Structure 1
Amino acid sequence: MKYLRILGLLFFTMAVHSQSVYKTPSGEKYHLATCRMVNNVSEEITLTHAVELGLDACKICHPPTAASLNILPQKKAKGESNTVQCKGTTKAGNRCKHMTSIANGYCFQHNPD
């Protein structure tokens, strides 16, 4: 009996994490398939992936939220950051004070592209 209970919990957890929601190409929210905001170009993704992308739940169709399903994104360790200070220099010769997450280490103003 205990084995069946654990197996049922495992299947429920897998179903929740693989629940399909939809993301529009330019949207910042995820939707249910029945939402009026979902159109033919929407991409089907899992709820877990939507949380990883930092998408919010639609306020029209009310899909399940990460908090209600206990799949909140992983928090970073204290002091760990994905942004760095820009490597560029200003006209005055000082180091730029902007923070950037661009991989080459330069902000939008000093990006050498």
Structure 2
Amino acid sequence: MKFFQLLLFLIFIGCSTKSPAQTVYTTKTGEKYHTATCHYLKYSKKEITLEQAINLGYQACSVCNPNSSPKQIQNLVSQSNQNTSSQETATQKTTATQCTSKTKAGKRCKRMTKNASGRCYQH
């Protein structure tokens, strides 16, 4: 009898908890979010939730097609737009620019960065 009550309790707790957010991955300098197995994540991988990725302005990778329904994405985008419209936009979205550093060969670095210093993560 106690086993049955314990089992019901565990099922109730399992059903009542909120399901975890979908995990997606971004690169250090990219503007897309990816699945864990995408080949674009070969050199850098940063784990975030799908909601955070959309709020930060990331878009889905066209190669790996992260598993998310268009309706779910539309809901997250509309929530993000409501949050930004209700707040004053004191910080503007930065665009990626080419790194200003020089390589060992004396040529300009080809990486893109959103860093305020104008240098990529390696410099």
Please give the alpha-carbon distance, in whole angstroms, between the structure 2 residues aligned to 1:66 and 1:29. 16
Matched, 1:39 2:42: yes
TM-score in terms of structure 2 length: 0.49
Matched, 1:29 2:32: yes
Amino acid of the structure 2 residue aligned with 1:41: S
Amino acid of the structure 1 residue aligned with 2:19: M
Deviation track 1:52-100 (CA, whole Å, cap 9, x = no partner) reads 11100000011134743232223214xx6526xxxxxxxxxxxxxxxx8
Choose between structure 1 and 2: higher helix proportion. 2
Q: Which SS does the other structure have where 2:42 is aligned?
A: coil
Please give the alpha-carbon distance, in whole angstroms, between the structure 2 residues aligned to 1:81 and 1:66. 30
Matched, 1:49 2:52: yes
- Runs (4+) of structure 1 exceeding 4 A deviation are none
Amino acid of the structure 2 residue aligned with 1:71: L
Q: Which SS does the other structure have where 1:48 is aligned?
A: helix
Q: How many residues align?
A: 78
Please give the alpha-carbon distance, in whole angstroms, between the structure 2 residues aligned to 1:66 and 1:81. 30
Please give the alpha-carbon distance, in whole angstroms, between the structure 1 residues aligned to 2:31 and 2:69. 15
For structure 2, the residue ranges without an aligned partner over 5 or more in a row are 1-10, 94-123
RMSD over aligned CA atoms reads 3.1
1:46–1:101 distance in 2 versus 1, CA, 3 Å? closer
**Contact persistence 1:51–1:66 (CA under 8 A):** no
Partner residue of 1:82 out of 86, 89, 93: 89
TM-score in terms of structure 1 length: 0.52
Amino acid of the structure 1 residue aligned with 2:71: S
Deviation track 1:11-69 (CA, whole Å, cap 9, x = no partner) reads 4x532x3x111000110000000111112421011111101111000000111347432
Please give the alpha-carbon distance, in whole angstroms, between the structure 1 residues aligned to 2:66 and 2:56. 16
